[in-house]
Amino acid sequence: MKILVINSGSSSIKYQMYEMPAEKVLAAGIIERIGEKQGHTRHSNVQGNTYSEDKPVAHHQEGFEIIARLLMDKQYGSIQQPEEVFAVSHRVVHGGELFRKTTLIDEAVKQKIKELFPLAPLHNPPNLTGIEVAQKVFFKAKQVAVFDTAFHQSMPEKAYRYAIPHSFYQEHGIRAYGMHGTSHRYVTNQAANYLQKPLEQTSLITLHLGNGCSMAAIRGGKCIDTTMGLSPLAGLMMGSRSGDIDPTVPYFMGTKLGMSFEEIDQLLNKKSGLTGLTGSNDLRDILKMSEGGDTQAQLALDMYTYRIKKYIGAYYAALGRVDALVFTAGVGENSSYVRWHACEGLENMGIRLDREKNECRASKIIELHSGQSPVKVLAIPTNEELEIARQSFELLK
């Protein structure tokens, strides 16, 4: 069964085509800067033939037509006709409380994704555009939605509610939803397999540390708490997002500094976090700056790792017992510095990293703990596309 996995953003479409259940990647690519003066297309197939072109791509419809053409191309493609694609699986960021699991798309589902626009104004609209265009280009294929929030729908009410009057939740859906669910779910399953423990008996803290960062407390394969909230702004410090902040700060910025809602939103989402403190959102730059004696870069690293450590403590308490910490995504898989400093001082909680084992970049599952560590520490490369393909296959088979 050929499943085309789509991640449709406001100006880009990323895709991977899988042969399932073999989990073989037949083709992958990205179309970037859609709607801008200079677009960019990159594509490769299983034979390793790579196509790259700089040419404007006017809109998502054109983007999908390019993808279909490349998938069927004699040299670069993997199929002869669009009908060979059995399903197109779409990453949809926000499923609110309406979607707890992977769902076959029909008109009613599209309408509900639209109703959720206010909760994810930057993400759900381009996700829906991707669905509508894919329906036209791959008209025979089933369309499936995999929601980033779905994995976190198992949180108990005490974890997801905010302490504000009930009506804000009941009438407007204001609560924590959590994000990166597909990644947290993928590494949870990988970790349970690796630990050779039934999923129902595992107790894990997963740390997705990329440009966006979130952590989750997972008991028996089900999320019981996570750091992101109504939006991806909450929780850990990130590449360009502030993470947790006293809600009075935006109020102060508005009333005392005369900033508009728009400006505050931009500041906290795009100009804060590592970017706000150092000028760069890339941890590699910041590590170099700090090695060169830049005290602001060092402060940013201290804040970044301190906040992760605080949440490890919080989630340990929430879970009561932890089998493993699981580091994943760009920073989690690659940065020995962040892992070391996030876990330093937690030895009495049974978390003991091995300095040498930790000096690695994880291209497969790697153990980072010392022999005597009661809590295992793993680095597991995430694979959200594969998780989306797996869930769609489970639904459709």
Are 299 and 161 in contact, with CB atoms under 8 Å apart?
no
The reply to whether 61 sits near ligand AMP by the rule CB under 6 A is no
- The annotation status of 100 as a binding-site residue, yes or no, is no
* Closest listed residue to residue 69, CA positions, set 15, 132, 23, 125: 15
Q: Which of 24, 136, 284, 288 binds ligand AMP (CB under 6 A)?
A: 284
The reply to whether 335 sits near ligand AMP by the rule CB under 6 A is yes
Q: Which of 124, 275, 334, 383 binds ligand AMP (CB under 6 A)?
A: 334
Q: Which helix (H) or strand (E) holds 334?
A: helix 329-334
Q: Strand order of the sheet with strand 85-92?
A: 50-54, 40-45, 24-32, 13-19, 2-8, 85-92, 142-147, 103-104
CB of 175 to ligand AMP, least distance (A): 26
Piece of 75-83, 197-205, 290-298, 325-333 that binds ligand AMP (CB under 6 A)? 325-333
Nearer to ligand AMP (CB atom), residue 211 or residue 370: 211
Catalytic residue among 106, 148, 265, 302, which? 148
Are 84 and 78 in contact, with CB atoms under 8 Å apart?
no
Question: Which residues, numbered 345-384, are part of the site for ligand AMP (CB under 6 A)?
Answer: 361
> Is 148 a catalytic site residue?
yes
The DSSP-derived string for 6-56 is EEE-SS-EEEEEEETTTTEEEEEEEEESTTSSS-EEEEEETT--EEEEE--
Q: Which residues of 70-103 are buried (b: 16+ CB within 10 A; e: fewer)?
A: bbebeebbbbeebebbbbbbbbbbbbbebbeebb
d(CA 303, CA 238): 11
The reply to whether 19 sits near ligand AMP by the rule CB under 6 A is no
Binding mask 242-281 for ligand AMP (x = CB under 6 A): ---------------------------------------x
User: 3-state DSSP call for residue 65?
Assistant: helix
The reply to whether 211 sits near ligand AMP by the rule CB under 6 A is yes
Q: Which residues pair with 378 in a beta bridge?
A: 326, 367
CB of 330 to ligand AMP, least distance (A): 2
Q: Which of 179, 331, 378, 388 binds ligand AMP (CB under 6 A)?
A: 331
Q: Residue numbers of the site for ligand AMP (CB under 6 A)?
A: 210-211, 239, 281-284, 329-331, 334-335, 361
Known binding positions for ATP: 14, 208-212, 282-284, 330-334
Known binding positions: 7, 14, 91, 208-212, 282-284, 330-334, 384
Which residues are catalytic, by number? Answer: 148
